[in-house]
Amino acid sequence: MLVVVDTGGTKTLVASFDRNGVLGEQIKFPTPKDPTEYTILLRSILIDNYGKKKVKAIIIAAPGIIKNGVALWCPNLKWEKFDIAKAIGGVLVDNTPILVENDANLAGLAETRIMKKIPDQSLYVTVSTGIGSGIITDGHINESLRNSEAGHALVEYDGVVREWESFASGKAIYKTYGKYAHDITDKRVWNQIADRISRGFLAVIPILQPDVIIIGGSMGTYFKKYGEKLQNILKEKLPDHIPCPKFIQAKHPELAVIYGCYYYAVDNLNITGFKK
């Protein structure tokens, strides 16, 4: 069994996978902003639910820059230099490996690996509490670009240079319109949202030139509401020599990170018997 933890800016999801990659029961709870509270709560859940089971590894996703198990910078949680691997270490069995990776990288890994044909390069963008990005090359997280933070790309909007996620994330959309995505029915509003989201892509696409862009996160669930408008904006404004990549909606917009944890463990740990 693999135990996986998707630590989001708003909620955390804990689940498990068997050797065949079948997802088990899921446990959700609001993500504590305080690292100590997060550690106590997560350790308690892991012990209560998996303490008596044979766990091969624990894989933890977090929304920020991760290095050697340490969350160096998670702005939406206000975490800095939080050693997650050390905090959770020994919770089940002392030698149970613990891997920590950026959530968007993991989501991009999962969504790319389930494609019939794996592209040379895909860009996963999660539009949720914030905006995260994962760059996948030949079906694996691009190690050289694993700390990329497209959501913090600086672009001009409303005459001010701002971070992309400050005006185009799910949190920003709610703050602007006073509604969550599932309550927005006005087509004009969705067109405005498409415009907001396009601004960051206009900066990112010419640099990365991915073959495919996968939209995930809570806003990814509603991609059909704004996807066509978004692509039309990009086709109109991108330079002629830079093609607009193919856009697709994440197959598992709410569970992509969880599935990515599974693939990441199988790729990076010497565990046998688990389906790839």
pLDDT in tens, 20-41: 999 999 999 999 999 999 999 9
Q: What is the pLDDT of residue 92?
A: 87
Q: What percent of the chain has pLDDT over 90?
A: 83
Place of tokens 């997560």: 42
Tokens of 212: 């495919």
Q: How many CA atoms lie within 13 A of 68 on its CB side?
A: 1
Q: What is the pLDDT of residue 86?
A: 94
Q: What percent of the chain has pLDDT over 70?
A: 100
Backbone angles phi, psi at 34, to 5 degrees: -85, 125
Rg (CA), the chain: 19
Average pLDDT over residues 115-142: 94
Domains of the chain, start order: 2-102+255-268 (3.30.420.40), 115-249 (3.30.420.40)
Contact 18, 1 (CB under 8 A): yes
Q: What is the pLDDT of residues 37-56, one digit of tens each?
A: 999 999 999 999 999 899 99
Tell how strand 57-62 and strand 212-216 pair up: unpaired
Average pLDDT over residues 248-260: 90
Q: What is the pLDDT of residue 219?
A: 86
| Dist CA 239 CA 158 (whole Å) | 22
Identify which has the larger pLDDT, 129 or 190.
190
pLDDT at 80 over 90: yes
Q: What is the pLDDT of residues 130-182, one digit of tens each?
A: 899 999 999 999 999 999 999 999 999 999 999 999 999 999 999 999 999 99
Average pLDDT over residues 251-270: 90
pLDDT band of residue 95 (cuts 50, 70, 90) is confident
Contact 13, 265 (CB under 8 A): no
Q: What is the pLDDT of residue 254?
A: 80
Tokens of 139: 């079906």
- pTM (predicted TM-score): 0.90
